[in-house]
Amino acid sequence: MHRTTFCAVLFLSASVSAQSLWIVDADQRPGSHFADLPPAVAAAAPGDSIYVRRPWTCLSRTRHR
């Protein structure tokens, strides 16, 4: 009986403390959830994390002689 109760409490505590990682990416690359920050903030619950990806930067270097 004690083992069953312990498992039930462990399961319930794990489901309550679930956190999400929301990824914001203006380029909408694979794995992103939102293209803009305000909708991500609206969807986030307390304890969630929001990661904002930097846009792709293409640096082209040209050497002239």
In a domain, 35, yes or no: yes
What is d(CA 12, CA 3) in angstroms, rounded to the nearest whole number? Answer: 14
In a domain, 4, yes or no: no
By the 8 A CB rule, do 16 and 41 touch?
Answer: no
The total number of structural domains in the chain stands at 1
State which H helix or E strand residue 10 sits in.
helix 2-16
Q: Which two tokens stand for residue 61?
A: 């270097």
Q: Could you read off the pLDDT of 7-62 as tens digits, one per residue?
A: 444 444 444 557 999 999 999 999 999 999 999 999 999 999 999 998 765 555 55
| pLDDT over 70 at 65, yes or no | no
State which residues form the domain around 50. Answer: 19-57
Is the pTM higher than 0.85? The answer reads no
What is d(CA 25, CA 54) in angstroms, rounded to the nearest whole number? Answer: 7
In a domain, 10, yes or no: no
In a domain, 46, yes or no: yes
